[in-house]
Amino acid sequence: MTQAASERYTRVAIILHWLIAVILIANIVLAWQFDEAKGLAKFQLFQIHKSLGITVLVLSLVRLGWRFVNPPPAPLASMKAWEKFASLAVHLGFYGIMIGLPMTGWLMVSASPRNIPTLLFGVIELPYLPFVHGLAVEQAKELAESFGEAHEVLAWITYGLLGLHVGAALKHQFIDRDTIVSRMIPFLKRA
């Protein structure tokens, strides 16, 4: 591996990063439409939302596996200790979100006494998680509400992490003028 290659993420990591980012943002936009949608339109929005969420879960597990086999580049020597800590915390937070958001959604759907099936992209039926599905109605309602609340809290944490992540990228590109952003956007050079 050349020095330049070891200073940036692998192509696979870059593709997974941007694919997950686009799907995650699309899912946020879909979720913002839930309150206005009615009837079949609302049902379809939820089906797409759940399909995209499970896609994020699968891609995130692939990305995590890839990261174990292909470690990311080391932090820049010029970064301060607090920046390295913040970067690690935000990245760990994103992995928690990318796995936790879909899982709490899947748990919520599985626990719900409504038994509304999830058809991934209208084709594949997502199974219910057996340890929370088919419980007594009151227990199922309580669990579904708890998982729903956790899902909502994680969504709010996602907004904060996105703000920190984008803000840090802008700082590195336009204030520090270093190579951090070009590690994930290879055609981009220092500002």
Query: What is this structure's pTM?
Result: 0.92
User: Per-residue pLDDT tens for 60-116?
Assistant: 999 999 999 999 999 999 999 999 999 999 999 999 999 999 999 999 999 999 999
d(CA 25, CA 28): 5
* Interior/surface letters 100-138, b for 16+ CB within 10 angstroms, e for the rest: bbbbbbbbbbbbbeeeeebebeeeeebebeeebbebeee
User: Per-residue pLDDT tens for 117-161?
Assistant: 999 999 999 999 999 999 999 999 999 999 999 999 999 999 999
Tokens of 13: 């990591």
Residue 34 contacts residue 41 (beta carbons within 8 Å): no
